[in-house]
Amino acid sequence: MLEALIREGSFKWLLSKRSSFAEEVEELQRSPSAGRNWIPELSPVANIVVRRCSKMLETSSNELLESFNAEASDSVKSQHARNFLEYCCFKALALSTRVMGHLADKKFRRLTFDMMVAWEAPASASECLVNLDDDLSVGVEAFSRIAPAVPIIANVIICENLFNVLTISTDGRLHFSVYDKYLNGLERVIKRMKSQSESSLLSAVRRSRGEKILEVDGTVTTQPVLEHVGVSTWPGRLILTDHALYFEALKVVSYDKPKRYDLSNDLKQIVKPELTGPWGTRLFDKAVLYKSISISEPVVIEFPELKGHTRRDYWLAIIREILYVHKFINKYRVTGVEKDDALSKAILGILRVQAIQEISSSNPVQFESLLMFNLCEQLPGGYFILETLAKMSKSRELDRGNNLVAGGGMYSISALAMVSNLGFVFDSCSSSSNPSEAGLLVGEVVVGEMSLLEKAVKESRDDYKRVVLAQETVAGVKVDGIDTNLAVMKELLLPVLEVGKGLLSLVYWDDPPKSLMFCLIFTFIIFRGWVGYALALMVLFFAIFMVLTRFFNQGRPVDEIKIIAPPPMNTMEQLLAVQNAVSQFEKLIQDGNIILLKFRALLLSVFPQASEKVAASLLLTALMVALLPGKYMFLLIFLEIFTRYSPARKASTERWMRRLREWWFSIPAAPVVLEREKEDKKKK
């Protein structure tokens, strides 16, 4: 009897905790205003989310529906349930994010997650897809659609990578416990950044330049930061702002005057990983190199740690993010409010990376994939994403000039509005108490549509997937060993080698009828001036061959190239083969030097008789080039090359070639004196 009761669910209240969704559904059904707040086209989950949004907006669900039908276009109304849900979510999030400390509100966290759950099953027909009593989770599509509506949580460009980091241990589904932990981390790093901005660090510099502190390191003795300039090394404190990198060398009881390494102006900066070690050795991969035209020698910032180089990778990523956002601003001449919006995107990205670093310290994280400007530098179509961002900035600037402010519930909020709501005020909106007054209500997500930025990101990701697949094939065909690679190259170049052998056979008149026919046809083509048409015909032949091959081989696997592998060599045989190859290469270089020295001797008349003959030949060649048309010159060269070994000229050609070799061997080489540079052993 007990087993039957458990199976029927009679003791379910005792064995498991019911979700808030199930309780709210029952409460809404018992409510006297259920008719006004229940929309039949929506699923119970979506109805609950819309009801919460309507409470925040101090209106009813039906009034929201009427507002949506008035504002939305016909194409947006086609998928009514999901698009209406997005409309309600965007309006509610735009309002709730204006409240200071909204990330600390547990209701806000639950609401944003429930929005994702409802997005996956918005229509009444999808009611069976969600079990309200289970541990709910969401997929990447729902996260990529709702999370970027709150720019501090995610960004359109990096949301998929962020989702993969959050779900690395949950098989591609995001649970609320992980999501809540991530938002907790965001809240902590925001408080820390605000405390750093309100501190006395770089107060004089920040007051004059309006810079904001984003990260500080080197204040803990167990995690020092070292600056290497030339042969000198100093410990100190490293500070990153939204415009520059500062290093304060540590004195006995205080810090020295900060050195500023600019990241905002175009100074041909280079920021890359660097190796360091004692006495100038390159042993430890734990440093970042900064180089620009404003400093005389490069600066190396080292982040010592016992294991790995996570600190270095983190600092390299965030320094590059500030450098890349200013490159974007300078390249596309972004100014005013749009410049602050671009900087806000970079700041929010750094905050997200800091939060991820706090909650997933055990798992390795690729920081560049979570920072949008870093990612745009890596993706194949990243430049297209940046161009789209610049075009969107220009269009918003024109809209403000025409007093057109896009807003309402059809758009998510912008990054600048989010940063301002978090308490980081920029100059462009410092005079306004409400960030939306600056005209930046248009975010990166639009109800029911893919924005230009989303389309650019999707296209770039598709290109990236194709590049990854291509690189996998490249990695699969790589072989080890010089002899094996030579065998592969010989097999791949076999058609070219066969064509070369055929041409040599025609040149040496191994088959006189074929050689004669070849000479007559090409002489006629050159004489009539059809060389360009002949080349075009060859290119057309290759194009037709590729099209026909694609048509007939469509759907079939690509034929593999079969190569007979050379016999394996032991270590001694490999060393001898390498030594033999080096010797042959050295002899080739020696022969090339001898040819150059003999030409130098002819040019400087070291052997006067030979120089006179060469000068006379050059004079005759100059007259022919000046007097004869190019078509006839090309015809003479062709006939000279392809009739040289014909039966009528073979004997005379061999005689002239023998005399030419004897003449060449008789020319002395120009003298060469080798001088060794004296090494300066003085220490600087």
CA dist., res. 37 & res. 29, Å (int): 10
437 pLDDT above the threshold of 60: no
**What are the residues facing 241 on neighbouring strands?**
213
**pLDDT surpasses 50 at 174:** yes
- Predicted local distance difference test score (pLDDT) of residue 124: 79
**What DSSP assignment string belongs to 150-178?**
STTT--TTTHHHHHHHHTTTTTT-EEHHH
- Residue 13 has a pLDDT of 37
Backbone φ and ψ for 117, nearest 5 degrees, come out as -60, -45
Cα 505 versus chain centre, distance: 50
The pLDDT tens digits of the residues spanning 605-617 come to 888 888 888 899 8
Phi, psi of 538 (to 5 degrees): -65, -45
What pLDDT is attached to residue 15? 39
3-class SS of residue 541 = helix
User: Given this model, what pLDDT does residue 306 score?
Assistant: 84
For residues 74-94, give the mean pLDDT: 85
To the nearest whole percent, how much of the chain has pLDDT over 90?
29
Q: CA angle, 80 as apex, 77 and 83 as ends, to 5°?
A: 85
Roughly what angle, to the nearest 10 degrees, separates helices 336-359 and 310-331? 170
pLDDT at position 5, please?
A: 36
Pairwise CA distance, residues 215 & 232, whole Å: 25
Distance CA 43, CA 122 (A): 5
Q: Which of 189-203, 232-246, 621-635 is predicted most confidently?
A: 232-246
Q: What is the CATH number of domain 202-333?
A: 2.30.29.30
Q: What is the mean pLDDT of residues 633-641?
A: 87
Question: How many other β-carbons are positioned within 10 Å of the β-carbon of residue 494?
Answer: 11
Give yes or no for residue 251 having a pLDDT over 70.
yes
Angle at 566 between CA 560 and CA 567, to 5 degrees: 135
CA dist 92 and 409 (Å) reads 8
Long-range contacts of 491-500 (CB under 8 A, 24+ apart): 491/561, 491/563, 492/561
pLDDT at 586 over 90: yes
44 — pLDDT class (breaks 50, 70, 90): confident
Q: What is the pLDDT of residues 344-390, one digit of tens each?
A: 999 999 999 999 998 876 778 899 999 999 999 988 888 899 999 88
CB contact at 8 A, 411 and 443: yes
> What gap in Å lies between CA 367 and CA 356, rounded to an integer?
9
Does the pLDDT value for residue 9 go beyond 50? no
User: ∠69-70-74 over CA atoms, to 5°?
Assistant: 60
The domains of the chain are located at 17-198+338-429+438-478, 202-333, 509-553+574-659
Q: Which of 118-127, 290-299, 406-415, 649-658 has the lowest mean pLDDT?
A: 406-415
- Say what angle helices 80-96 and 61-71 make with each other, to 10 degrees: 110
Alpha carbon distance 77, 38 (integer Å):
19
Report the alpha-carbon distance of residue 652 to residue 669 in Å, rounded: 29
The rounded distance, in Å, linking the Cα atoms of 563 and 489 is 10
H-helix or E-strand containing 226? strand 225-229
Return the SS3 of 289. Answer: strand
Residue 440, pLDDT score: 37
Quick check: 209 and 264 in contact, CB under 8 A?
no
Closest of 530, 409, 519 to residue 50, by C-alpha:
409
What span, in angstroms and rounded, lies between the C-alpha atoms of 371 and 377?
A: 10
Average pLDDT over residues 165-173: 89
User: Quick check: 652 pLDDT over 50?
Assistant: yes
**Which tokens belong to 629?**
């048309």
Q: Kindly indicate the confidence band of residue 130, based on its pLDDT and cuts at 50, 70 and 90.
A: low
What is the pLDDT at residue 682? Answer: 41
pLDDT greater than 80 at residue 422: no
Which of 33-42, 46-55, 219-228, 384-393 has the weakest average pLDDT?
33-42
How confident is residue 158, by pLDDT bands cut at 50, 70 and 90?
very high
pLDDT average, residue stretch 11-40: 59
**pLDDT of 470-512, one tens digit each?**
888 777 777 777 778 888 888 888 888 899 898 889 888 888 8
Q: Looking at residue 433, what is its pLDDT? A: 45
Neighbour tally for 590: CB within 10 Å: 10
Q: What whole-number distance in Å separates Cα of residue 390 and Cα of residue 405?
A: 18
